[in-house]
Homo-oligomer: A and B are copies of this chain.
């Protein structure tokens, strides 16, 4: 069990079978009754029946609310539809929302839980690497708008997170690779065992136990960071490593073209190039110096697809200016002074940002 501690409460991340969900609900003080299960059609096909069965066996009446898979469901329109489904089912203030799925389902279901009747109990049941190590931990919920990602939402901690490692076995290869981008990001931020395990054991990540161990350790990194800083006033911002570039690329390519993880994989390499440039005081060029080369070598294992030809350098750089992490003082970047040593850099020369982007684009794919 990995504890997460916020000013607004405490919750646990359990790495165990979905079948334990009813026991955890009881432990959390909920009496069986109506339970909303927000999920998508893909995950519903794999795990909904089994989850509904164990819930019913414990006296719950599960009501599935199934949305289409993909980022398109993280919208205010789908939010309204799911809110209405929750109310139509007869939810009261003690009705839990179980978000069964990846990041989209967790963010959408979490925002519904945060707002229907001004707050229902929320349980995250993440079924992807991305969700298990990142999006289900930390209390961020929300949806996208036409103007960008995650622009409308709420901080809303779950009662608990139950991450079943067995669900990772059904992930498509592309989804595994995408999820590993956040695992690598956490390894770069934390250094230590996680980084070395990935560096030495990358080829063995196909083994379920090995993958589960890495995912658990990456989740613990996220839990430690958000426990120290729920509202992103300090250390939590470090979790945006690679994301200023990544979000810009994702937007410029058109949402759905690259996965979030693929865009972050490119973004991490840009962030590492920028880190090396700032350490050296000049464009780091085409080969990064120590200690950035070692970190960049791990990020390279993510092997994202090439940046689409249609994404011009200017479009990607322009998209950064629209990223919500912009500040009145100009763009801020999370960089690394060393492995495990992130910091926020402000007032970065534009030439270095451009060089970092060109490097990441060249080495991707």
Known: A8-B8, A92-B327, A154-B154. 10 other contacts (CB 8 A): A76-B80, A84-B146, A84-B147, A87-B148, A93-B324, A115-B115, A115-B154, A117-B152, A118-B150, A119-B155
Q: Does A33 contact B (CB under 8 A)?
A: yes
A-B contact pairs, 28 of them (CB 8 A): A76-B76, A76-B80, A76-B83, A80-B145, A83-B151, A83-B152, A84-B145, A84-B146, A84-B147, A87-B145, A87-B148, A88-B147, A92-B326, A92-B328, A93-B324, A114-B154, A115-B115, A115-B142, A115-B152, A115-B153, A115-B154, A117-B152, A117-B324, A118-B142, A118-B150, A118-B155, A119-B154, A154-B154
Let me know if A116 is at the binding interface, CB within 8 A.
yes
9 cross-chain pairs, A with B, having the tightest CB-CB distances, nearest first:
A87-B147, A76-B80, A118-B153, A115-B152, A83-B152, A87-B151, A115-B154, A118-B155, A116-B152
Residues of the B chain whose Cβ atoms lie less than 8 Å from the Cβ of A117: 151-152, 324
Are B145 and A92 touching (Cβ within 8 A)? no
* B contact residues around A186 at 8 Å (CB): none
Interface: A273 (CB within 8 A):
no
Q: Closest residue to A142 on the B side, CB-wise?
A: B118
A211 to chain B, nearest CB (A): 31
> Which residues of B lie under 8 Å from residue A33 when comparing CB positions?
328
State whether the Cβ of A185 lies closer than 8 Å to any Cβ in chain B. no
| A interface: dominant SS | mixed
The distance from the CB of A126 to the nearest CB of chain B, in whole angstroms, is: 20
CB nearest to A156 among chain B residues:
B154
Total interface residues on A, CB under 8 Å, equals: 34
Task: Please report which residues of chain A, range 74-91, place their CB below 8 angstroms from some CB of chain B when the two chains form the complex.
Answer: 76, 79-80, 83-84, 87-88
Cβ–Cβ contact A154 & B80, under 8 A? no
User: CB within 8 Å of B: which of A222-250?
Assistant: none
Partner of A118 from B84, B87, B118, B154 at Cβ < 8 Å: B154
Query: In whole angstroms, what is the CA distance A87 to B76 when docked?
Result: 14
Query: Is A140 an interface residue when CB atoms closer than 8 A count as contact?
Result: yes
Within 8 A of B (CB), among A8-25: 8
Residues of B near A116 (CB, < 8 A) are 151-152
Q: What is the CA–CA distance of A145 and B117 in the complex, to the nearest angstrom?
A: 11
